[in-house]
Structure 1
Amino acid sequence: MYEYFNEPFSFKLDLTPEQMLKVIFEYTAKIATEKKLENVLVLMSNMGRDMVVADRCTVWLIDAASNELFTVVAHGIGEIRIPYGSGLVGSAISTGQPIFIDDAYGDPRHNPESDKKTGYRTKSIMTIPFRNNQGEVIGAYQAINKLTQKQSFSTQDMDYLTLAAAYSGKSLESIMLHQEIIETQKEIILAMGNIGEGRSKETGNHVKRVAQYSYILAAGLGMSQVEAEMLRSASPMHDIGKVAIPDAILQKPGKLTAAEFEQMKEHCTIGYQLLRKSKRQLLQAAAIVAWQHHEKWDGTGYPQGLAGENIHIYGRITALADVFDALGSARAYKEAWPLERILQLIKEERGRHFDPQLVDVFFEQLPLILEVREQNEDLFETE
C-alpha cells in the first residue's frame, strides 16, 4: 500500500505499449486543437501523469519578468510561484538536465513546506525540462509519486516523459505565441478605442465599461464563453470612426446642428471601413460593432436602417451597453443622468431602440452591471 496516502490504495501497473500509444494519440490530438493556454496546461499535466503512472504531474513555466517559476495547473493544488532556480524544478530548468529521485526527503533540494500544509507525502519525483523550437528551456514537467509497486520512476519513465516534453514544449510555444498575438490585439483595440472615444479630458473608462457590460449581456444571453470574450475584446472599437470627426463637432458643448449630426453619424461607416479588410476574427468583430452599434431594433437607427435580428447580435448588445454608459457619464455637452432616469428610458425603449430580450437580460444582470460601473468610474484631468 502507498505510504503517502491516508487511505488504502492498490498499486497500478505500467502502461503496455498499446496503452501508451493510445494515451499519446488521445492527448496530442486534443492539444493540437486547443487554443487556450490553461486548457493546454491541463492536458499536458494529464498526459504526463498518465504516461508515467504518477499520482500527480505539474507543468512549470518561466516568468522572466518576475524571475520566477510558476504553475497555473497542479494536480490537487492551485497556482504556485517559486524563485527561479529554487527547488528540484528550478535546478532542472537552470541546468537543462532531467532529475529523478526515489526519496524526496533525502534530497536537500526538495522543499517540504507544501507537504506540511496539505498533509501529502512526496516520495518519488521526476523533473524533465522542455524546450521551444529554438532549443531554449521554457519550462518543465514534474511527476510526483510513482503508483506502481516499485514506487520509483525508471529510466523508461524518463524517456516517456522526455517524449511528452519534446512534443508539449513546441506545442506550448505555439499556443503562447497565439495568446500573445491575441493579447496584443486587445491592447491595440483598447488603445484605439480610447482615442476614438475621447480627445476629451475623460479617462478611457467609458470603453472599459462598455466592454464589461457587453460581456455580461452576452453571457447572460447564453452566448458561449469564447464569443462573449470576443465581444468584450471587440466592443472598445465601437467609436473608432470618431478619429475622422472634427474636434469642433466632437467637443461641441451644445446641441449639434442637423448638418453636424449628419457628419457625426459618419463615424460608424468610417470605423467599419477602417476594420473590415482585416482577416483577424477579433478585428472583424470590431468592424461589425463599429458599423452597427447605432442601429435600432425598430429600424430607425443609422447608418443602414437595419431592424430586428438583421442587426448583428454584437451591434445590438453594444448599442445597449453604450447608451446605458453614455447617459450616465458627464460630457462637455451634457450632465450625467441619474440612474433611475436611465433605467426608465431603457424600459421605454424595449422593442424600439433595443432588442426586447436583451433589455430583459440587462435587468436580470443589473447588480453585476452596477458593480462594474462603480469600480470603473470616470476620472477627470485637471488643467
Structure 2
Amino acid sequence: MYESHEIQEVKVKQDLDPQEMLRVIFDYAAKIANERRLDNLLMLMADMGREMIVSDRCTVWLLDRHKKELYSTVAHGVPPLRLPSTAGLVGHAVMTGEPIFIDDAYTNVPFRDVLQSGAIATDRKTGYRTKSLMVIPFRNNEGEIMGAYQAINKLTETGQFSQKDLDHLTLAASYAGKSLESALLTSEIEETQKEIIFTMGEIGESRSKETGNHVKRVAEYSYILALGLGMSKEEAELLKIASPMHDIGKVAIPDDVLKKPGKLTDEEFDIMKSHTMIGYNLLKNSKRRILQTAAIVAYEHHEKWNGRGYPRGLQGEEIHIYGRITAIADVFDALGSERVYKPAWDLERILNLFKEERGQHFDPNVVDAFMEQLTAIFKVRDEYSDLALEEAKADK
C-alpha cells in the first residue's frame, strides 16, 4: 500500500470547539454571500467544509441533470472532472439521497468494487493514501439534490468521520445553498451570453462567406496572445468571448461590396471600412462588460500601430490592447484562409509579413508574443480548420 507523504507530515488535529466552529462559519458565510463566480464559490465551499470537519481534502460535486453528469470545477488535490451521474461513491449518494461513511477504503466491503476502480486506483498512481471517506448529498431550496460534498481522510486521532461531521457538512451546504443557486444561474446566463455573442459573430462572418471556424480561431488566438502578454486568465477569457464580434458590423454592408471578388474601388472601400463604426455603434451603449469589450474590438481591430489604419487613425498605445491583439489574430487567420478575393497564403509568407509589419501595422510586443506562442497557435489552427469543420458536418 502507498502511504501519503502529505498525511504523514500533518499533525493529528482536534475537532473544532463551538467557538472555533462559529468563527469558521462567520468567516466563510460573509465570503460566500458576496461571491457570484461559480469556481470561486465552490472553492470557498470546499475550504469551509474541510475546516469545519477537519479533513485533509474536500470536494464539492454538482449534478448536471441535463447531461446526466457530476462535475467538479475545483477541489483539493483533484483536477476538474466530469463523471456519469451514477458513477462512484458520489453518484451512489446522489442517486439514493443517502450519506456514505467509510472508515478505511482498503478494507471496506460494501463499496469494494467502486473503491478499487476509484480511490484505490488513484492512490496507486499518486502515492496518496485514502483511508476514511464521507459523501453527503445536498439539496436546493425545493428539496432537490443538486450535488454532494466528498471528504477524504479525517485528521483527528480517531481518523474516522462521525454523525457530527455529517451535521456540520450539511450545515455548510445549507449556508452556501442560496449563493450556489445564484452562482449557477449567473453561470447559465453567462454561457447563454457567450453563445449569443458567438452566434452573432458567425452571422457577421457568414455574410462574407467565412466559416464559423474563423471566429473560433480568432477567439482562441486572441486568448493565447492575451495570456502571452501577461494578462490574467479572466481578462484573456473576456477577450476570447468578445472577439467573435469583431466583424459584426458587416451585417450592414451591401452584398455587392462585401462579396465582390475583385479589388474594391475607393468608394467601395469606404463603405467596407464603415463596418467598424457600425459594429461599435451596435454595442457601445451596453453596460455589460462583455459587450463593452466587443465594442472596443469591433471599433479598433483595423487600426494600425503606425497610425495608418481606420476608422480613426489611432497610433501606438492609443489603440486599446484588445484591438491590437485581435488585429493580428484576425489578419493571421484571414491571410491563411481562402477568400472570394484571394487564395490562402502559405505560412512562411504570413510570418515574413508579420516580421516586416512589426512596428508598422502591428504592435511589436504583440508580434513577439505571437512568435513565442506559435506552437499553441498552430494547434488551434489545425484543431479548428475548415476541413475539420466540413468533416464534422459530414459525420453528422
Match of 2:324 in 1: 316
SS of equivalent residue, structure 1 residue 62: strand
CA separation in 2, counterparts of 1:295 and 1:217? 18
Q: For residue 68 of structure 2, what is the amino acid of its counterpart?
A: N
The answer to whether 1:41 aligns with 2:45 is no
Task: Check conservation: 1:202, 1:378, Cα contact below 8 A.
Answer: no
The worse-fitting range, judged by mean Cα deviation, of 113-122 and 345-354 is: 113-122
Task: Check conservation: 1:128, 1:165, Cα contact below 8 A.
Answer: no
The C-alpha deviation readout for 1:171-206, integer Å capped at 9, x for no partner, is 222222222222221111111111111225442121
The C-alpha deviation readout for 1:104-160, integer Å capped at 9, x for no partner, is 655625632124312566554433322224332201112234322333333332221
Please give the residue correspondences for 1:1-383 in structure 2 after superposition, counting only pairs within 5 Å: 7=8, 10-78=11-79, 83-85=84-86, 88-100=89-101, 108-109=110-111, 111-113=114-116, 114-117=118-121, 118=123, 124-379=132-387
Task: Check conservation: 1:130, 1:168, Cα contact below 8 A.
Answer: no
CA separation in 1, counterparts of 2:167 and 2:98? 13
SS of equivalent residue, structure 2 residue 260: coil
User: Quick one: structure 1 residues 70 and 209, their matched pair in 2 at CA, closer, same or farther if it must change by over 3 Å?
Assistant: closer
Q: CA RMSD in A?
A: 2.8
Q: For residue 112 of structure 1, what is the amino acid of its counterpart?
A: L
The worse-fitting range, judged by mean Cα deviation, of 236-245 and 215-224 is: 215-224
Q: For residue 293 of structure 2, what is the amino acid of its counterpart?
A: A
Q: For residue 328 of structure 1, what is the amino acid of its counterpart?
A: G
- 1:33 CA displacement: 4.9
The C-alpha deviation readout for 1:342-374, integer Å capped at 9, x for no partner, is 222222222222112222222222232223223
SS of equivalent residue, structure 1 residue 112: helix
The worse-fitting range, judged by mean Cα deviation, of 196-205 and 326-335 is: 196-205
- 1:253 CA displacement: 0.6
Identity over aligned pairs, percent: 64
CA separation in 2, counterparts of 1:238 and 1:115? 47
User: Quick one: structure 1 residues 326 and 98, their matched pair in 2 at CA, closer, same or farther if it must change by over 3 Å?
Assistant: same
SS of equivalent residue, structure 2 residue 158: coil
Q: For residue 204 of structure 1, what is the amino acid of its counterpart?
A: G
Q: For residue 337 of structure 1, what is the amino acid of its counterpart?
A: W
Structure 2: tracts of 5 or more residues without a match: none
- 1:334 CA displacement: 0.9
CA separation in 2, counterparts of 1:50 and 1:187? 38
User: Quick one: structure 1 residues 50 and 334, their matched pair in 2 at CA, closer, same or farther if it must change by over 3 Å?
Assistant: same
Q: How many residues align?
A: 380
- 1:263 CA displacement: 0.8
The worse-fitting range, judged by mean Cα deviation, of 193-202 and 112-121 is: 112-121
SS of equivalent residue, structure 2 residue 386: coil
CA separation in 1, counterparts of 2:148 and 2:250? 48
CA separation in 1, counterparts of 2:129 and 2:20? 28
Q: For residue 26 of structure 1, what is the amino acid of its counterpart?
A: D
CA separation in 2, counterparts of 1:4 and 1:366? 40
- 1:35 CA displacement: 4.7
Q: For residue 51 of structure 2, what is the amino acid of its counterpart?
A: D
